[in-house]
Structure 1
Amino acid sequence: MKQLHYRNCNLCEAMCGLEIEHQGDQIIAIRGDKADPFSEGHICPKAVALQDLHNDPDRLRHPVKRTADGWQPISWEQALDETAERLHAIQRQHGKDSVGVYFGNPTAHNHGALLMLAPFIKALRTRQRYSATSADQLPHQLATLQLFGHQALFPIPDIDRTDYFLVLGGNPMASNGSIMTVPNIRGRLKALQARKGRLVVVDPRRTETAKVADEHHFIRPGTDVYLLLALTQVLFEEKRVAPGRLADLVDDMALLEEMVTPWTPERVADTVGLSAGAIRQLAGDLAKASRAAVYSRVGVTTSAHGSLSAWLVYVLNILTGNLDREGGVMFTRPAFDIVAIAGLSGDTGGFNRYRSRVHGYPEFAGEFPVTTLADEMLTPGAGQVKAFVTHAGNPVLSCPDGNRLEKALGGLDFMVSIDLYINETTRHANIILPPTGQLEHAQFDPIFQAVAVRNVAKFSEPLFDKPEGSLHDWEIMLGLMSRLNRLNAKTRRQRLQAQMLDGFLSRMGDRGLVDLGLRLGPYSHAGKVFGRLKRDGLHTLPKVAWRLLRSRQKGMKLKTLLEAPHGIDLGALTPMLPERLFTAGNRIPLVPPLYREPLAALTLPEPVARDQLLMIGRRHIRSNNSWMHNSQRLVKGKGRCDVMLHPEDAARLGIEPGAAVTVRSATGSITLPALISEDIMPGVISVPHGWGHDREGVQLEVARSAAGQSVNDVIGNDRVESLTAMAQLNGIPVTVEAA
């Protein structure tokens, strides 16, 4: 008998609602859920890949151990025991920081893993922590921490009500939004234009978003900071600064004006590639728009001055009165309020509280940038990383200088990966612990509901029962955490505390933690409990959790969402300042001290050498980093890993369409076919990332057969962002020649 199952797609940030038709354990069709109040039936091509991922013969179903005779299946008991014992022994011999840990992009798409993350990290007891954050959105988080007092308090474009949408270094038509959960972006942009609004894109490539824009400006890669400074300077010069109702909350206005005064459009025009007149026109259009939103993403944040640029984007929204107002950029009020819950413990984020061992790079939110990961493994001495833990990450393909990282992984004493596949990274592991698949566990999105363009909530049951002998991500983390805590306990009291925590988390499970978070949220009636936790600290949570969960409290809870399988629309974004701020005195320091010295020291860059081009990345709607290339539905058709370059550059270099070209840097080289197009500005090439699955030992049959090489084999760890030392992935100087 055919049945229908409703859930969210978790293959990107858009949270599109799905209607999955199935019969028993067979999927018949995957369609958009027209009754979903957020996505209204829209899906992108990635959704159908859920079937491929679920049925993938390359997917691991049981723990495996690497031996001289190849990968051998082992029991969960052996896998968890041996992993914990090896990690404990290495830390006992070499110190706590001899174990490193890396969390990949898919961790954010799995609520069970997310909710078990903090106790799991605590059990590992190491400062050698890394994640995809430092190859992606770190500058955004740093800016929100500095301006608003919380690393996760993101202002989200109110795209459904804005009249002027300025996009820098972002391509939501391909990404479906990023730090802006927005299903059916095409429909929403059409609605913007239908109400006489304007979409303006600034990007070195005429992206999918730029092609539907009212206006597109090419910009030289890595120069966003100079354009943003010039836009800010024009607002002050032409007396167009108007913060609106937030004026009394904003400090440092005079200091900002003084610091941007030298950065006129005329000074930066040649550097950025826009005329001074075009820059002044952009500033004027932004200032006079009745409701405007300025938005930026990885093209900006992964450049040489990504931190200054991300900060200046928020500054522009503040100066034009578009922060926290309808049609501007606003803050969400999510049902599971990760911002408020993190605030209970005072853990709103931190920066530069300590530094990495080898290069002295600053930590952010307890993590070091991935640009130092390989060197922390390869450099001998106290604190050298000897063992490594990964969850849902493939840093060999997603981080700079993958070849060097491969060398580092090959020299470890021990490595364990919580992952579904034997990929470019996990092939170096001693033990792989595979969790259940996307359709075998429940789906809830605490991260993406907190950055959505509307307040929405949805919890989806698993489509398929958990297979016998398998574990969810959170159960694997809990199993390792419990064992490590027991091994590390030195006193009876510590052993008792470990048992209590283990018991609490085991009984709660992922569903109980979601239920608890909803009951503590703004749509529940647990204000007194929340107030008590805010007063006494989050560490008191176990004492009140069971009483709260057993109460007949009215308002939002897990039962509410289970009774609404299509999800619940909780309304449009609403003004939330100053109450939502976590800064001293609930004020906004427009020029935080962190940015003052780098801004004062900023100079125009040297011209690029005549024989060099600047390389940028590229996103495709059928892909998301490196973890979807084993789906035949997503990789079929014409290859998408190529070198896009302008006809002028192709003619100068003697390169024909489709011909093999070699891209070379001091780090390495790759050879790919040429895609000659006027959609990219002269002097720039574009290569997508996440490809290159032909390394020895990779067990991904479909991905291995797809053409492509890893662009990160050309990008070195020596080029880092100026303030945070995070990965610089855009604006990389390279040479290009016919192969």
Structure 2
Amino acid sequence: MAEQTRYITCVLCEASCGLEVTIDGPSVRSIRGHEADPLSRGHICPKAIALQDLHTDPDRLRTPIRRVGPPGPEATWEPIGWDEAFDLVAERIVAIQAEHGPDAVGVYLGNPNVHSLGAITHGVNLVRTIKSRNTFSATSVDQLPHHLIAMLLYGHQFLLPVPDIDRTQLLVLIGNNPMASNGSMMTVPDFPGRLRELTARGGSLVVLDPRRTETAKVADTHHPVLPGTDAYVLLAIINVLISGGLARPAAYVGGVAEVGRAVAAFTPERAEAMSGMPAAAVIELAHLLADSPAAAVHGRMGVSTQEFGTICQWAVQCINILTGNLDRPGGTMLTTPAIDVIGARIVGPGHLGAWHSRVRGLPEFSGELPVSTLTEEITTPGPGAIKALVCMAGNPVASTPAGDELGAALAGLDFMVAIDFYLGETSRYADVILPPTGPLEREHYDLVFHLLAVRNTARWSPALFDKPSTARHDWEIARELGLRIMRLRAAAEPEGGEASPIERAGTALREAPKNLERQTKFRTTPRQQIDLLLAGLGTGLSVDQLASTPGGVDLGPLEPRLPQRLRTEDKRIHLAQPLVLEAVAKLAARPTAYPQAPADPHGDLLLIGRRAQRDNNSWLHNAPRLISGKPRHRLLINPVDAHSRGISDGDAVTVTSRVGGVRVECTVTDDVMPQVVCLPHGYGHALADGIRLRHAKTLAGVSFNDLSDPETTDGVTGNAVLNGIPVTVVRSAG
């Protein structure tokens, strides 16, 4: 077969870059950025180039395997046929729920699910078919405060304004490092190019972060802020805006006076005392935001994954609203995607506290419990305890708080199935692993990140290679499991029972539409569902049309959409949300940001996380194109803190938190401010029990989440706290 050039979407991160790939039969000859793509504009990062390593990796699973013996060093794995695997998994799920109740089967959904069309169209239906309240996802270690505030202020969990970076004059990023991530909760491929354009038109970038990140290094201004104290700075900015008469919200905004009273205690001077950011700089930033003709503030993981994450995300939205920059070109705006999952009611608006976790009483959000409760929901006996787990494209042992404790809990489950194409830190505890096809073997349309993109586009990504005849797509796996579970349940329905015939008939009638809808969705392909949505929403587009348009269709820049786009009942934004104001009042009454800290003769240090451009959470550390270069898994420590502890660059140190400790080499650098240490997320593949995982081909570092504390969460949502973790650091002997 002659060489061909194909155009696909990279599905490894939120940037969703368009790629131009040259293939020769079964081989990839080159991968480069697609210059004509209207969103990514030719941008590419090293992860996309490594897609070919993932495709050819001999350690990637391609057929189901079953564990023989208990988890541990002595466990072995044997291949198993697809039908046998599907039957085994479905039978165990149905049997465990029949014996212990529907909540006895837990579900965990990892980040890759939102990057797969099949996981969205069919995986969600599998979760609904399982019908367990013990459902968890990566959302609650990442972004839950974003969604709650979007629901409260704008009426829907996915109404998430993004900076209109292509037209802004002032971009303020807080705990946000798009030079490494290409945007997060903001799909902004080619951030470096867009930053150069911002500078060329006379604009500026301001970064608030405890580390001099890749983004902070190219900013016009960088303000170091102690981790976990961002709320004091943001609330002080709101105070300056309202008390100084600088606020100019739109006519459809209410509650400004109540907010002003709530933040009165948060002065710039208090912000300085708590955060280290000078009061004069807080005041100056407030005036810059008020005076700029087009400004946008965006807060990301650094402010979401802390104890005051909900307050921070509310404050970010308040600042954009109060300065008149919400829904203004160059400010923060809402997208107009071709497939509007909000307007089409494909995704619900969200809800908080419809039920609570059994042990600690943390609230669910939109049908999911905070993952910080997962371990205790397994290990605490009693009705509703999790006896089995369905883990879909997730690695919570590596990516959620106290992952080592979670691993021990998973080892005690009655049954576990992982939908995963690697034997990893979490999937190694499974009884059965069902591997889906890889990214180059499946079709894709982005239902999620078009909602967060800085430009409106629509792009269909064809499969680069046909799947092997023995392989299954993730949607095929979800379909088969879902249908078999429904058939087994139907076959097990008792003839009699305590319910009367009339009651049983009523139940059957209520469940029939749901079951019929699930079966219909299971039996259509992802491509068919996208075609139906494009046609039903009157877009004038089709999959065939998009597939024949390399790079997709450019639908133009972001446009003002408010108040019509609001999903609040009265089409107004109510800033004075009681749930948030109550949290603000509690924060105002606290004497310090850190009421509990470990005893350390040298003083407390605060741990934060980080990621590199060549990392993708806990995977891709086996891709040859990504693992070279300087070690990326070292602890960063400021020279002042290193000197006081007798630590030199390259020394091995022991880092200890309330829940655990790790030994790691360190780098002494002023890239982190004093009192702060920084460890990357997603490492730790060399496990304590001696198992060398198949996908770990590098020196694996240590796991950040052996130090994060599941008992410390965001006070409103229960989101995990991964920034501002009190730790001690001492030089290791030997």
Interval of TM-score (by shorter of Structure 1 and Structure 2)? over 0.9
What TM-score do you get using the length of structure 2 for normalisation? 0.94
In structure 2, which of residues 552, 556, 570 is the aligned counterpart of residue 567 of structure 1? 552
Deviation by residue 1:497-528 (Cα, 9 ceiling, x = unmatched): 6884465235421101111222233x52xxxx
The match for 1:122 is 128
The match for 1:220 is 226
The match for 1:538 is none
Secondary structure of the corresponding residue to residue 65 of structure 1? strand
Secondary structure of the corresponding residue to residue 441 of structure 2? coil
Structure 1 Cα separation of the partners of residues 658 and 697 of structure 2: 26
Query: Which one-letter code corresponds to 1:34 in the other structure?
Result: E
Check the 8 A contact 1:561/1:568 in 2, yes or no: yes
Structure 2 Cα separation of the partners of residues 574 and 114 of structure 1: 27
Q: Mapping of 1:238-249 within 5 angstroms?
A: 238-243=244-249, 246=250, 248-249=251-252
Secondary structure of the corresponding residue to residue 687 of structure 1? strand
Query: Which one-letter code corresponds to 1:737 in the other structure?
Result: V
- Cα distance, 1:559 vs. partner? 2.2
Structure 1 Cα separation of the partners of residues 551 and 204 of structure 2: 32
The match for 1:508 is 524
In structure 2, which of residues 671, 678, 689 is the aligned counterpart of residue 679 of structure 1? 671
Check the 8 A contact 1:422/1:698 in 2, yes or no: no
Check the 8 A contact 1:635/1:706 in 2, yes or no: no
CA change 1:700–1:55 in 2 (3 A) is farther
CA change 1:75–1:738 in 2 (3 A) is same
CA change 1:406–1:506 in 2 (3 A) is closer
Secondary structure of the corresponding residue to residue 632 of structure 1? coil
Alpha-carbon RMSD: 1.6
In structure 1, which of residues 266, 291, 295 is the aligned counterpart of residue 294 of structure 2? 291
Q: Mapping of 1:713-724 within 5 angstroms?
A: 713-724=706-717
- Does residue 134 of structure 1 match 2:127? no
Q: Mapping of 1:483-562 within 5 angstroms?
A: 483-489=484-490, 490=493, 500-501=516-517, 504-521=520-537, 524=539, 555-562=540-547
Check the 8 A contact 2:228/2:593 in 1, yes or no: no
Q: Bigger shift: 105-114 or 486-495? A: 486-495
The match for 2:240 is 234
Check the 8 A contact 1:423/1:698 in 2, yes or no: no
CA change 1:507–1:129 in 2 (3 A) is closer
- Does residue 605 of structure 1 match 2:592? yes
The match for 2:35 is 34
CA change 1:471–1:623 in 2 (3 A) is same
Check the 8 A contact 1:173/1:208 in 2, yes or no: yes
Structure 2 Cα separation of the partners of residues 503 and 600 of structure 1: 48
Check the 8 A contact 2:621/2:698 in 1, yes or no: no
Structure 2 Cα separation of the partners of residues 378 and 342 of structure 1: 37
Check the 8 A contact 1:719/1:728 in 2, yes or no: yes
Q: Bigger shift: 31-40 or 221-230? A: 31-40
Query: Which one-letter code corresponds to 2:583 in the other structure?
Result: P
Structure 1 Cα separation of the partners of residues 322 and 114 of structure 2: 32
Check the 8 A contact 1:206/1:680 in 2, yes or no: yes
Check the 8 A contact 1:486/1:498 in 2, yes or no: no
Check the 8 A contact 1:694/1:704 in 2, yes or no: no
What TM-score do you get using the length of structure 1 for normalisation? 0.93
Structure 2 Cα separation of the partners of residues 499 and 271 of structure 1: 54
Secondary structure of the corresponding residue to residue 321 of structure 1? coil
- Does residue 306 of structure 1 match 2:309? yes
Query: Which one-letter code corresponds to 2:707 in the other structure?
Result: V
Structure 2 Cα separation of the partners of residues 592 and 641 of structure 1: 41
The match for 1:377 is 378
Kindly tell me the number of residue pairs found equivalent between the two proteins. Answer: 703
Q: Bigger shift: 380-389 or 636-645? A: 636-645
The match for 2:319 is 316
Which protein is richer in helix relative to its size? 1
In structure 2, which of residues 556, 563, 579 is the aligned counterpart of residue 594 of structure 1? 579
Secondary structure of the corresponding residue to residue 525 of structure 2? helix
Secondary structure of the corresponding residue to residue 397 of structure 1? helix
Secondary structure of the corresponding residue to residue 595 of structure 1? helix
Check the 8 A contact 2:122/2:522 in 1, yes or no: no
Structure 1 Cα separation of the partners of residues 513 and 692 of structure 2: 41
Check the 8 A contact 2:232/2:270 in 1, yes or no: no
Structure 1 Cα separation of the partners of residues 92 and 481 of structure 2: 11
- Cα distance, 1:138 vs. partner? 0.4
Check the 8 A contact 1:291/1:327 in 2, yes or no: yes
The match for 1:705 is 698
Secondary structure of the corresponding residue to residue 390 of structure 2? strand
The match for 1:351 is 352
Check the 8 A contact 1:45/1:634 in 2, yes or no: yes
Check the 8 A contact 2:651/2:731 in 1, yes or no: yes
Structure 1 Cα separation of the partners of residues 320 and 239 of structure 2: 14
- Does residue 652 of structure 1 match 2:662? no
- Cα distance, 1:107 vs. partner? 0.5
Check the 8 A contact 2:109/2:138 in 1, yes or no: yes
Secondary structure of the corresponding residue to residue 577 of structure 1? coil
- Cα distance, 1:669 vs. partner? 0.8
Check the 8 A contact 1:630/1:701 in 2, yes or no: no
Q: Bigger shift: 234-243 or 165-174? A: 234-243
Q: Percent identity?
A: 48
The match for 2:435 is 434
Query: Which one-letter code corresponds to 1:111 in the other structure?
Result: L
Q: Which runs of 5+ in 2 are unaligned?
A: 70-74, 494-503
